[in-house]
Amino acid sequence: MITDGHGTPLAVLLTGGNRNDVTQLLPLLDAIPPVRGRVGRPRRKPDSLFADRGYDHDIYRDQVRARGIVPAIARRGTLHGTGLGTYRWVVERSFAWLHGFRRLRIRWERRADIHEAFLKLACCLITHRQLNSLC
Q: What's the pLDDT score for residue 10?
A: 53
Whether residue 83 is predicted with pLDDT greater than 70 in this model: the reply is no
Helix (H) or strand (E) holding 5: none
User: What Rg, from alpha-carbon coordinates, does the chain have?
Assistant: 16
The model's pLDDT over 40-50, given as tens digits with 9 standing for 90+, comes to 776 777 788 87
What is the number of residues in the chain?
135
Q: What's the pLDDT score for residue 121?
A: 92
Looking at the chain, the whole-number percentage of residues with pLDDT higher than 70 is: 71
Whether residue 73 is predicted with pLDDT greater than 90 in this model: the reply is no
Whether residue 125 is predicted with pLDDT greater than 90 in this model: the reply is yes
